[in-house]
Structure 1
Amino acid sequence: MTISSDEERKAREQFETHTDNVDGERVGYASRKGRRKVEGFGGKPPSRIQSLWRDINLMIGLASDYSRGNYTQIPWNVLAAVTGAILYFVSPVDVVPDFIPVIGYVDDALVIKLALEIARPDLEAYAEWKSA
């Protein structure tokens, strides 16, 4: 199941708004809220985002390590995209509400993928740093 082109446009716009408004405080906020949401799934993510679960957790970890000053080798635009995606993911007000069966996380998956287009190499570098 997919979302309409209008819903996709709105999700992109919300993601861009979140990304444009990122500052250090919002990075920390996103990491805390993202961790709570992920933990709320009890290790069983919704099927629509299951294939992105590793990436979602990496994004949240990156935001957390950045906000604590543990990992700062990340370009600001990449950090902003990651933070914007997390903020969209945790928002109770997104294009397709998460509680709607079957399609609830389709827009979240879209936004995570948009962030990954920007952040993939830096996210993988972070994963290597984290595992070292």
Structure 2
Amino acid sequence: MNRMIKSVFKRMTKKAVTVMKDKDKMKDVSIESLKKGALYNGRKGMDEMWVDVKTFSRLVQEFRKGSYRDISKKSVVMIVGALLYFVSPIDAVPDLLAGVGLLDDVAVIGFVASQLKHELEKFREWETGVKI
């Protein structure tokens, strides 16, 4: 990730700490990310990001409800920060720029998914009851 994206993502993770103190805000971020992600579902190159956004959203919802706790708070902060970055109209590359506006969103979601690969696999195993 370039410096500008890292800087904005860092701001979003700081905001995520505050968001996590309010269950309604956590729910809102989760829902908004699904709404925005659905707009890009089926677009070339967006399939993996869409899968990750849906997983992040489900994990946030289960964490918010207290159903799933087998994850560090730091990891949840990263996930909420990534979702905030994704839904924010103010990010490193505005989404309105056709063709390139989502590249930074893809980079942030992909970065967090790769950093938390093990955590996400554990969540999917818990969710499905099937060892991955």
Report the TM-score, using the length of structure 1 for normalisation: 0.81
SS in structure 2 opposite 1:88? helix
The answer to whether 1:49 aligns with 2:49 is no
**Structure 2: which amino acid aligns with 1:108?**
D
How far did 1:30 drift?
Answer: 4.4
Counterpart in the other structure of 1:94: 91
Distance across 1 between alignment mates of 2:60 and 2:69: 10
Alpha-carbon distance in structure 2 between the residues aligned to 1:26 and 1:45: 32
Supply the distance in 2 between the matched residues of 1:91 and 1:44 (Cα, whole angstroms).
18
Aligned-CA RMSD value: 2.3
Matched, 1:16 2:15: no
Aligned residues: 126
Overall identity of the aligned pairs, in %: 25
The SS at the match of 1:116 is helix
Alignment of 1:1-132 (within 5 A): 8-21=2-15, 22-23=17-18, 24-25=20-21, 29-40=25-36, 41=38, 44-132=41-129
Structure of greater relative contact order (alpha carbons < 8 Å, 6+ residues apart): 1
Q: TM (normalized to structure 2)?
A: 0.81
Q: C-alpha displacement at 1:34, in angstroms?
A: 3.5
Q: Secondary structure at the match of 2:46?
A: helix
Distance across 2 between alignment mates of 1:117 and 1:129: 19
Any stretches of 5+ residues in structure 1 without a counterpart?
none
Q: Deviations over 1:14-49 (max 9, x none)?
A: 112222341423675244234234235257254343
Check 1:99–1:30 CA distance in 2 against 1; reply closer, same or farther (3 A cut): farther
CA contact (8 A) 1:28 1:64 kept: no
